[in-house]
Chains A and B, each alone.
Chain A
Amino acid sequence: MFEDGTIFNELFIERLNYIIYVILLLIGLHGMIAKNNLIKKLIGMSIFQTAIILFYVSVGVKEGATIPIYLPEHDPHGSHVTNLEENSSSEESHGPVALDADLVKGYANPLPHVLMLTAIVVGVATLGLALALCQKIYQGYGTIEEDELLTKIERQEMRSNPSVAIKSMDSSKMTTVKLEKSVSKPKVSSSPSTQRPNAKLKAEAKTDSSTTKVKTSRVKSVSSKTKPMASKSTTTGSRASKSTTTGSRKSSAKPNTAASQSRTKAKPKPKAKPKASAQKTTASKLKSRTPKK
């Protein structure tokens, strides 16, 4: 393939512009696929766009041609500044004539430039819109990291309709159901034995399999990351702290700090409602919490 260097010559000497655009395009594509941060995804999208624009412009290059603006001597209507007298007389005689083929070779194709001009404008518009959406997402969830976002959204879904989540799993394993309940509260950095079924149940509850596959592998790291934020959310309302304490009591033997924290915080509360550990009440409570979110 490379013995006489023809491929190499063709690809890397005569078509270097394509190599550059391919490299830029791959950088943008990788940024869009692999990065978790939404802003970084947008940067990847911009690089991708730039690669496409460069590709079009480089295709529009013509050897020995100038920019697509008529030189005064080629303008069929003549220069607008000089030779007005001569121009009008010549127009009377035979009118403006189209450029002949020799002169056409002297100008680059205007079409790629026009298309890329509009593409740049649309790129700005989409980028502005995407940034606005990112700001909105941050306001709602406090993060623009994609994996953290997915876990948060999933948690909210479970809070809003726990019945669906319960139905989707085995009725025989009541212990796992209880654990499932406790998922809604954040300090999941518990012992690995309880961690594992949680992740599995989550994966079941979710319909999209491709995303959950990733998530099960990294639930642990994510949960540890989101811990401070989530523990903040437990302190926001008395109801929230109540539900978390019931959850933590059910999955009782947990030595982690977050659980004990939330328990101590909500110390006066459980006395008021001693039977709150019943499943139904927690479910209704969780349901009532959702409009606040």
Chain B
Amino acid sequence: MKKISLIPVLVVGVLLLYAADDFPEWGNPTAPASASSLSSHFISNTGVDTEVPNMVTAVLADYRGFDTMFETVVVFIAGMAVLAILKGSSGPFSKNKKYTSSIEPDLIVTNTVRLLVPVIQIFSFYVLAHGHVSPGGGFQGGVVMGASFIMIALSWDLETALVRFPLDKCFLVAALGIILYGGIGLLSMFLGGEFLDYAELANILPVSREMARYHAMLGVEIGVGLTVTAIMFALYANLSTEGKLKGGL
């Protein structure tokens, strides 16, 4: 079986290496990916259309805002699906371990985490809020924020983390993030533009049209960050305990 499976693998490898000969070499500025009109359009016009210096964020939240919105929906659906699969699940082979944690949480670990978690959370806010002017954004900030809760769950136990961020609140927050994203899109539609056309928000915000896009992108990124935070923690809580939300790692 393993010998047979090597055949398609090697065939694919040979084909890919054969095709690699036609790819542009490393760092070639005339490569299609770097010299395309789309690339130069993004680079030259992002600063004109929006006031966001970070082109990646601008492309993510504005030019490809539709894509990112449903990306967030995908994350949300994945969290819901994991919950639906594992909630109250038990089979003939499910773990029947008594989830009594006889070991006390380690003093050094918990105190270190106690010091670290606020710093991590503030850093996640920084990454989220400065996603426009520096590397960062909603996904990154959300992952860092979710990691802080997972750290609490790892150093104490899952119950301690679930007291701070209960699972039902998780999905409330995740849904709130998507509603925030879609709400900003709908708001710009009701103000006379198209869906997710943030420039129309200048009608209700005391700023220019470019700056309105800047602020709308911040709102969108906050929505993404909320969803990702909640779903990351919900994924951990469900997967580490087979959906029982007791004991765990």
Residues of A within 8 A of B (CB): 7, 10-11, 14-19, 22, 25-26, 29-30, 33-34, 58-65, 67-70, 74-77, 80, 96-101, 103-105, 107-114, 117-118, 120-122, 124-126, 128-129, 131-133, 135-136, 138-142, 214, 233
Contacts and interface: CB of A to CB of B under 8 A. Distances in A.
Interface in B224-244: 228, 231-232, 235, 238-239, 242-243
Interface of B: 1-2, 5-6, 8-10, 12-13, 16-17, 20-21, 23-29, 31, 33-34, 36, 38-40, 42-48, 51, 53-56, 58-60, 64, 67-68, 71, 74-75, 77-79, 81-82, 85-86, 89-94, 133-135, 137, 139, 210, 228, 231-232, 235, 238-239, 242-243
B27 A75 contact: no
B12 A26 contact: yes
B34 A26 contact: no
Contacts of B71: 118, 121-122
A56 to B, nearest CB: 9
B122 to A, nearest CB: 21
30 contacts: A7-B21, A11-B17, A15-B20, A18-B17, A25-B12, A29-B8, A30-B5, A59-B23, A63-B29, A69-B54, A70-B46, A104-B40, A110-B39, A110-B59, A113-B56, A117-B139, A118-B67, A125-B74, A125-B75, A125-B78, A126-B78, A128-B79, A128-B82, A128-B239, A129-B78, A135-B239, A136-B85, A138-B93, A139-B94, A140-B91
A69 B55 contact: yes
Given A99-B43, A101-B40, A135-B239, A33 B5 contact: yes
Nearest to A141: B93
A61 B235 contact: no
Contact of B25 (A7, A14, A19): A14
A34 B26 contact: no
B43 A104 contact: yes
Nearest to A136: B85
A272 B28 CA distance: 84
B68 to A, nearest CB: 7
B23 A15 contact: yes
* B contacts with A: majority SS: helix
Given A59-B31, A62-B34, A128-B235, A18 B48 contact: no
Given A22-B13, A69-B54, A69-B135, A75 B47 contact: yes
Q: Which among A75, A104, A125, A138 has the highest number of chain B CB atoms within 10 Å?
A: A125
B47 A96 contact: yes
A30 B135 contact: no
Contact of B16 (A25, A129, A214): A25
A15 B44 contact: no
Contacts of A105: 29
A152 B5 CA distance: 23
Contacts of B91: 136, 138-141
Nearest to A96: B48
Contact of B33 (A30, A109, A133): A109
A121 B73 CA distance: 11
Contact of B53 (A61, A75, A108): A75
A17 B17 CA distance: 11
Nearest to A229: B93
Given A117-B60, A129-B81, A140 B92 contact: yes
Contacts of A62: 27-29, 31, 34
Given A59-B23, A140-B91, A34 B43 contact: no
A67 B53 CA distance: 11
Contacts of B24: 59
B56 A19 contact: no
Contacts of B9: 26, 29-30, 33
Nearest to A105: B29
B167 to A, nearest CB: 14
Contact of B55 (A70, A97, A139, A233): A70
A136 B42 CA distance: 45
A159 to B, nearest CB: 14
Given A110-B43, A114-B60, A124-B75, 20 more contacts: A11-B21, A18-B17, A22-B17, A26-B13, A29-B12, A68-B56, A70-B53, A74-B47, A77-B47, A98-B44, A99-B43, A99-B44, A99-B47, A101-B40, A104-B43, A109-B33, A109-B42, A109-B43, A114-B59, A139-B242
Contacts of A75: 47, 53
A15 B90 CA distance: 51
A19 B40 CA distance: 28
A171 B222 CA distance: 68
Contacts of B231: 125
A19 to B, nearest CB: 7
Contacts of B2: 34
A118 B239 contact: no
